Amino acid sequence: MKENDFTSELLSEIFENLQIPELFKCILVNKKWSANAIRILWKNPIEFINLNLINSKLSKDKSYLNIISTMIKCLPFEIKIKIRAYGINFDELKEESQPMFDYCSLIKKISFDMILNAINILFNSLVEKSIIKDQTCHYIVFQEICNHLVDKCVISNNRDKKINPKFILNAYNPKQIGSCNKRGSNFPLPSQLPQMKKSLSKLEKFNLNTCIQPRFIQELDNICKNILSIGIYCGCCDEHYLAEFIKNQMNLREIYVMSMNNFHLIKISEAIKIKLEQLTSLTISTGQISLNIFNNKRCDQLIELSIYNFCDQLADIDEWNNFFRYNSIRFKNLKNLEIQCNIKNFKYMGIFLNELSSLQKLELAWSEDEEDNQDLIDELFRNIAKYCSNLIQLELSTPKFTQSLEIILQLCKKLEYLNLLNTNKSNDLNEKILLLGNYFPISLKKFGVQFYLNISKEKLEEFLNNCFMNGIRNLSLGFYIEEFSNDYEIIMMKYVKLGTLNNEFFKSWLEFMPFILRI
């Protein structure tokens, strides 16, 4: 089959699975390939540029300049005339600068803050070249570009359970370094963008990365009522206004609240509780957000729940016990559960897991004090094995004794992904890893370890042989070996040929290994 024989539909399906550098090569093949590759690259071009910086020969600013220049060239001529009426003149605003493709019509996701950042880079460049005198009019160009992109962007009704916001704003205070008293924002007040009110009203995702001036939240609250996803990474200075902002979002589906500071967010907790029954995803830090928000609430819409216990002194063990003992029946559709806390807080986890038949992904990470907690860990593992037979993905703190995992691996027959986390340094995995190969379910496709392994080549071969004899096929390994050498490579290649290890994984693993060894 020649390159011209591929239909556009087939090319699109193939290109969706390619890496960014490969897509750039496809652009050079012919017009059909170019159109299909460009369509993918321009879904969210600035994000793609950020992802590709490690391989790009261009600087970050130069890449941003190329993107924003192309966007301006794509503006309709009447908008260009409107901008030029303000005395703003540069090459991209000329009528003859219209590009071959209407790139703006391809964009499916817009980050308003990233567009503003690119505009700032462009205007800095124009000032340096003496094409314009200053940046006083850059908000005008910014508003016109955003309005045009929003008009072009395809708006779905977002009735499906998978949230995919199109219009995004990430706001933060660039002057705030360890202090919540310095107010400001990387993004202007909405009142400073009067021509963009309609576009801001379509905002679907809002991330607040530091405390910010309350006026910003107030003004945004007056405009935005249909946000689907809210992320709050501080909030102590803005709590009252953020709580009101949360309450006023009619279609809110995702909330993420996380801060390393030790303070209660009482008003935000109350706002989340009001919205709880309509949420599909919730991430909280306990203590800051009380676990009592779940009391007397049915969370039938909730698919993803993540709870982090960064502030032990804010959430006592009674709060955890009550959560696990009395709330399990309220999560009948929960598929993904992630909890990080002290191992003692999992005392009644079994009661909770007993009602979660829908659970497919479970991540449990725990810290331990100086006391012996092996009985608690063994009980936790028995409960996972007993109540979570439908698990597809499991991530756990590496237990002190590798054999503790045996009961889970024997009873969770659908498990495809197992990852051991590096939260507790004391374990015998280097000595006992070969045992795991005996217990892996035949469904397992990836086994990862979040720390370097110091295992002999003999133990590696015995581990892989146990996997082979156990019927494991096409397995990917997500770990690295400290003293890796050609002897290890020969052993692993043997099990690639036998079908135990995934060939594509192994090639990528070998390419990345030299870089890992240099760290």
Q: Indicate whether 454 belongs to any domain.
A: no
Pinpoint the alpha helices (H) of 177-234: 197-200, 214-223
Q: Indicate whether 244 belongs to any domain.
A: yes
Query: In terms of domains, do 419 and 396 share one?
Result: yes
Q: What is the pLDDT of residue 87?
A: 82
Residues of the chain with pLDDT > 90, as a percent, come to 41
pLDDT > 90? residue 108:
no
Centroid of chain to Cα 286: 20
Query: In terms of domains, do 127 and 17 share one?
Result: no
**What is the C-alpha separation between 58 and 215, in angstroms, rounded?**
38
**What is the C-alpha separation between 476 and 446, in angstroms, rounded?**
5
Q: Indicate whether 17 belongs to any domain.
A: yes
Q: What is the pLDDT of residue 156?
A: 42
Where residue 413 sits, what CATH number does that domain have?
A: 3.80.10.10
Q: Indicate whether 500 belongs to any domain.
A: no
How many other C-beta atoms can be found within 10 angstroms of the C-beta atom of residue 108? 15
Query: In terms of domains, do 341 and 412 share one?
Result: yes
Q: What is the pLDDT of residue 157?
A: 41
Q: Indicate whether 173 belongs to any domain.
A: no
Query: In terms of domains, do 17 and 106 share one?
Result: no
**What is the C-alpha separation between 142 and 170, in angstroms, rounded?**
16
Query: In terms of domains, do 148 and 226 share one?
Result: no
Query: In terms of domains, do 318 and 214 share one?
Result: yes
Which residues have C-beta within 8 Å of that of residue 65, sequence separation ≥ 6?
118, 121, 122, 125
Distance between start and end Cα atoms, the chain = 44
Residue that finishes a domain, picked among 430, 458, 481:
430
In the numeric block, the tokens 């005008």 are attached to 140
Q: What is the pLDDT of residue 159?
A: 41
Residue 144 has which token pair? 């016109």
Q: What is the pLDDT of residue 54?
A: 47
**What is the C-alpha separation between 89 and 240, in angstroms, rounded?**
44
243 vs 37, residue with greater confidence = 243
Residue that finishes a domain, picked among 376, 407, 430:
430
Which residues have C-beta within 8 Å of that of residue 85, sequence separation ≥ 6?
none
Query: In terms of domains, do 55 and 35 share one?
Result: no
pLDDT bin (cut points 50, 70, 90) of residue 125 is confident
Specify the number of domains making up the chain: 3
How many other C-beta atoms can be found within 10 angstroms of the C-beta atom of residue 160? 8
**What is the C-alpha separation between 476 and 461, in angstroms, rounded?**
15
410 vs 310, residue with greater confidence = 410
Cβ(16)–Cβ(40) below 8 Å: yes
Residue 474 has which token pair? 């096409």
pLDDT > 80? residue 447:
yes
Q: What is the pLDDT of residue 92?
A: 83
Query: In terms of domains, do 99 and 19 share one?
Result: no
In the numeric block, the tokens 């819409």 are attached to 301
Q: What is the pLDDT of residue 166?
A: 84
Which residues have C-beta within 8 Å of that of residue 136, sequence separation ≥ 6?
none
**What is the C-alpha separation between 152 and 107, in angstroms, rounded?**
8
Q: What is the pLDDT of residue 338?
A: 97
DSSP secondary structure letters along 244-257? HHHHT-TT--EEEE
How many other C-beta atoms can be found within 10 angstroms of the C-beta atom of residue 501? 24
Q: Indicate whether 460 belongs to any domain.
A: no
* Section 255-265 average pLDDT: 82
The crossing angle, in degrees rounded to 10, of helices 60-73 and 45-52 is 160
Chain length of the chain: 519
376-428 pLDDT, tens digit each:
999 999 999 999 999 999 999 998 888 889 999 999 999 999 999 986 667 88
* Section 300-308 average pLDDT: 95
pLDDT > 60? residue 143:
yes
Sign of CA dihedral 31, 33, 36, 41: negative
Mean pLDDT score across all residues of the chain:
84
**What is the C-alpha separation between 437 and 470, in angstroms, rounded?**
7
pLDDT > 80? residue 165:
no
Angstrom CA distances, 38 to 14, 18, 41, 284, 466, stand at 13, 12, 5, 38, 47
What secondary structure letter does DSSP report for 398? P
Q: What is the pLDDT of residue 35?
A: 82
475-503 pLDDT, tens digit each:
999 888 888 888 999 999 999 999 999 99
64-97 pLDDT, tens digit each:
888 889 898 989 989 998 988 888 888 888 777 7
Q: Indicate whether 305 belongs to any domain.
A: yes
Sign of CA dihedral 418, 424, 430, 434: negative
pLDDT bin (cut points 50, 70, 90) of residue 58 is low
H or E element in which residue 31 lies: helix 31-41
Query: In terms of domains, do 319 and 233 share one?
Result: yes
Query: In terms of domains, do 131 and 213 share one?
Result: no
Query: In terms of domains, do 346 and 203 share one?
Result: yes
Query: In terms of domains, do 238 and 358 share one?
Result: yes
DSSP secondary structure letters along 135-170? STTHHHHHHHHHHHHHHHS------SSS---SEEEE
Range of the domain at 35: 1-41
Residue 395 has which token pair? 């991530």
Pinpoint the alpha helices (H) of 249-388: 266-275, 317-326, 349-353, 374-387
